[in-house]
């Protein structure tokens, strides 16, 4: 994987993480947080899809590595929503 391919993969993950944040209702964090959420969302989304025997939807291949766009957005949204629930509980108590 070249440097350009790696940066492109980070960009795709960042966009997926940003969309997940917007859907999940998070407003904190910058582009680095979005990149992390994109990768966490991809791991979580692929795991959920595998457990439910669902196919990969809209997969992008960058430098021989595949990145599931739809599952990354869904996983990031779920991750942000769960984190939001824990943060709200902590702020009340």
pTM recorded for the entire structure: 0.84
Q: What is the pLDDT of residues 5-62, one digit of tens each?
A: 999 989 999 999 999 999 988 767 788 889 998 999 999 999 999 999 999 889 999 8
Higher-confidence residue: 86 or 75?
75
What are 86's two structure tokens? 């824990």
pLDDT of residue 74: 93
CA of 65: how far to CAs of 29, 60, 68, 73, 89, in Å? 26, 8, 10, 17, 38
């Amino acid at each position: 994987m070249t440097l350009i391919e790696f940066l492109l993969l980070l960009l795709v993950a960042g966009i997926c993480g940003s969309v997940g944040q917007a859907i999940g209702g998070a407003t904190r964090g910058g582009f680095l947080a979005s990149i992390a959420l994109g990768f966490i969302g991809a791991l979580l989304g692929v795991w959920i899809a595998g457990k439910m025997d669902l196919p990969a939807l809209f997969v992008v291949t960058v430098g021989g590595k595949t990145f599931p766009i739809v599952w990354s957005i869904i996983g990031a949204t779920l991750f942000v929503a769960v984190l939001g629930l824990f943060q709200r509980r902590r702020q009340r108590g």
